[in-house]
């Protein structure tokens, strides 16, 4: 088992990154956690307020070698969450995804190699596997990548870079591939926080196509726990799927949210389908489960907890939705 004293978390003010930081402060109180985040539209220092006194925060861009270099001193492990992550935005403009998700990972790998970090964990996604619709199977870590969006392609490229540094330079690299993640503090452009906040505002819940696309929804705390386990116990050079084994359609998500909030089903609205839409993702997480990982949340319980968080934290999400980054994307995307 790897032992760490000083861990760098890039993208640690984002949704999954901040959940990882909050959980690690509790789980590993002896770790010194350094967070590097550019604070783009999806990064929010409010996400780190509960643990602000227990971490070191540095603002910076992973694509800038100097920014990466100044936070690497004494680092034992790097956990890279920093990424552009929204498929819809990648379909509008893929360039930021290539810049951050590929070039940024290259910068981090170079700087981590120079200081001799013990382990580099690249946080990836089940979207690299592509569409499983029409198949009665689950994606395995040994499956060939088949990305179908610029976002998924950029994350695939990042994985290949990380693995190449393991082979070419002997770096200890591990990869996690998480399924669709939800929970508190998620930026409301993704389906679950978008639907919750729209419903709270009595606005339509936009479902792509016929709403039958299937995703395997994983609670963010379970995702963070899986990353923690792989960071400490994963085999060098291996990838690990993190999925909840809970496949759910978009219509089911909308219905559950409306039911929890007591809102009418008529708020469900079917909109123009996403170009190249993948209609099923499903991963087999047996490899991570063999390490001892097991999800704690089922979808009904996790969704209810998430809905309640947004109900109780209207100030947080209203401030986000009032920003131009949110308004501009919604205006551009849904009026295509």
pLDDT at 14 over 60: yes
pLDDT at residue 80 tops 80: yes
The arithmetic mean of pLDDT across residues 22-33, rounded, is 97
Name the catalytic one among 129, 151, 185, 240.
151
In the predicted structure, residue 336 carries a pLDDT above the cut 70: no
**pLDDT tier at 311, thresholds 50, 70, 90:** very high
Neighbours of 50 (CB within 10 A): 14
Tell me the per-residue pLDDT of 88-137, one tens digit each, with 9 for 90 and over.
999 999 999 999 999 999 999 999 999 999 999 999 999 999 999 989 89
State mean pLDDT over 39-66.
Answer: 97
Taken in order of first residue, the domains within the chain and their CATH numbers are 6-181+219-242 (3.40.50.720), 183-215+246-276+298-324 (3.90.25.10)
* Structure confidence at residue 334 as a pLDDT band (50, 70, 90): confident
Specify whether the CB–CB gap between 77 and 7 falls below 8 A.
yes
Q: Which of 61, 88, 127, 222 is catalytic?
A: 127
Q: Is the pLDDT of residue 335 over 70?
A: no
Tell me: the pLDDT tens digits for 214-254? 999 999 999 999 999 999 999 999 999 999 999 999 999 99
CA distance 76 to 6: 5
Looking at residue 1, its pLDDT comes to 57
Active site residue 216: no
What does the pLDDT read at residue 329?
86
From the list 126, 189, 216, 228, the catalytic residue is 126
- Confidence at 184, pLDDT banded by 50, 70, 90: very high
* pTM of this structure: 0.96
Model confidence at 196, pLDDT cuts 50, 70, 90, reads very high
Residues 245-280: b if buried by 16+ CB within 10 A, e if exposed: ebbbbbbbbbebbbebbebeeebbeeeeebeeebbb
38-51 confidence digits (pLDDT tens): 999 999 999 999 99
Residue 61 tokens read as 């861009």
The predicted pLDDT at position 331 comes to 82
pLDDT over threshold 80, residue 2: no
| 42 vs 156: CA distance, rounded Å | 21
Active site residue 310: no
Question: pLDDT over 70 for what percent of the chain?
Answer: 99
Residue 193 pLDDT > 60, yes or no? yes
Q: What local confidence, expressed as pLDDT, does residue 332 receive?
A: 77
* Active-site residue flag, 126: yes
CA distances from 170 to 108, 111, 113, 153 (A): 15, 14, 9, 25
């Amino acid at each position: 088992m790897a032992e760490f004293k000083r861990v760098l978390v890039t993208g640690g003010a984002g949704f999954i990154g901040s959940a990882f930081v909050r959980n690690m402060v509790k789980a590993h109180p002896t770790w010194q956690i350094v967070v590097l985040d550019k604070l783009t539209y999806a990064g929010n220092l409010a996400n780190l307020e509960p643990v602000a006194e227990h971490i070191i925060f540095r603002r910076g861009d992973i694509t800038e070698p100097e920014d990466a270099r100044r936070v690497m001193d004494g680092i034992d492990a790097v956990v890279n969450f920093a990424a552009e992550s929204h498929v819809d935005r990648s379909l509008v403009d893929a360039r930021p995804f290539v810049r951050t998700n590929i070039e940024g990972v290259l910068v981090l790998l170079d700087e981590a190699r120079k200081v001799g970090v013990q382990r580099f964990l690249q946080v990836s996604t089940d979207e690299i596997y592509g569409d499983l619709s029409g198949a009665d199977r689950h994606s395995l870590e040994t499956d060939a990548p088949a990305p179908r969006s610029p976002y998924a392609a950029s994350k695939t490229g990042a994985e290949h870079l990380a693995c190449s540094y393991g082979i070419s330079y002997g770096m200890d690299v591990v990869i996690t591939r998480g399924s669709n993640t939800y929970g508190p503090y998620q930026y409301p452009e993704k389906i679950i926080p978008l639907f919750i906040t729209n419903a709270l505002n009595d606005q339509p819940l936009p479902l792509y196509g016929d709403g039958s696309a299937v995703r395997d929804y994983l609670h963010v705390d379970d995702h963070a726990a899986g990353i923690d386990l792989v960071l400490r116990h994963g085999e060098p050079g291996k990838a690990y799927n993190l999925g909840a084994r809970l496949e759910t359609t978009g219509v089911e998500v909308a219905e559950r949210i409306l039911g929890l909030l007591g809102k009418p089903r008529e708020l469900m609205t079917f909109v123009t389908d996403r170009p190249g839409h993948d209609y099923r993702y499903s991963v087999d997480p047996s490899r991570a489960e063999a390490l001892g990982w097991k999800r704690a949340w089922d979808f009904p319980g996790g969704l209810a907890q998430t809905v309640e968080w947004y109900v109780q934290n209207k100030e947080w999400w209203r401030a986000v939705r009032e920003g131009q980054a949110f308004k501009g994307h919604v205006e551009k995307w849904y009026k295509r």
